[in-house]
Structure 1
Amino acid sequence: MSNQLITQENNERVKSFFVSLKRLSRIMEHLFASRKPELNGESFYTDEELSKTLKISRRSLQYYRNQGRIPYIKLGGKILYRTSDIQKMLEDGYREMFKK
């Protein structure tokens, strides 16, 4: 039995392990970057996130707020929307397709 040092340079299995580890690290960084923080199990949209999600302008969101058509939270100068409120609003507005 030899006392040879095993490194990435002289062992393909070790090299493959470190390549897989780097790939896994990048995937985890991406997942954590896109994760929304929660408060008491509830997540929130910002004005910008909700406008992108619903594919409407931020001005339209402001109009809906002013009309009382969309629930929101105002925290200082920041507007937040509960994810559950938005889902409920969309479900309540769902209309079945009419058949001719």
Structure 2
Amino acid sequence: MSKLITGDNERIVQFYQRLKETLIALESALKEKRPLLNGQRYMTDAELSQYLKLSRRTLQEYRNNGLVPYYQIGGKILYRESDIEELLERNRQEAFK
């Protein structure tokens, strides 16, 4: 004799819960994905300041002093991700032993 599986079945409820969690994780990942432009990713000042744990004002000072390369289109400031990675690598300090 076969048993009828309904939406109240615990295994079905767990399946739908996992499916919902997967959908939420996928939506979150897609929201954070930035599109490429000629193989490069660009960040806004808000994104970069959050990434580097700096205030936007400090980032502006770095721009004004020529420490951080950037692009300006109208009033919009953009930073190429690869430029920032190179900058961080050039300024890396080795730990003392």
TM-score interval for Structure 1 and Structure 2 normalised by the shorter chain = 0.7 to 0.9
Return the match for 2:18 from 17, 20, 38.
20
Query: Aligned residue for 1:48?
Result: 46
- Partner Cα separation in structure 2 for residue 95 and residue 18 of structure 1: 49
Aligned length: 96
Summarize the Cα distance change of 1:55–1:16 in structure 2 as closer, same or farther, 3 Å threshold.
Answer: closer
- Partner Cα separation in structure 1 for residue 67 and residue 10 of structure 2: 61
Given residue 92 of structure 1, which amino acid in structure 2 is its aligned partner?
A: R
Structure 1 unaligned residues grouped into runs of 5+: none
Return the match for 2:71 from 60, 70, 73.
73
Give the Å deviation of 1:13: 3.8
Return the match for 2:35 from 27, 30, 37.
37
Root-mean-square deviation over aligned CA pairs: 2.0
When normalised by structure 1's length, the TM-score is 0.79
Larger radius of gyration: 1
Identity %: 50
When normalised by structure 2's length, the TM-score is 0.81
Given residue 94 of structure 1, which amino acid in structure 2 is its aligned partner?
A: R
Structure 1 segments of 4 or more deviating over 4 A? Answer: none
Give the Å deviation of 1:35: 1.8
Given residue 69 of structure 2, which amino acid in structure 1 is its aligned partner?
A: P
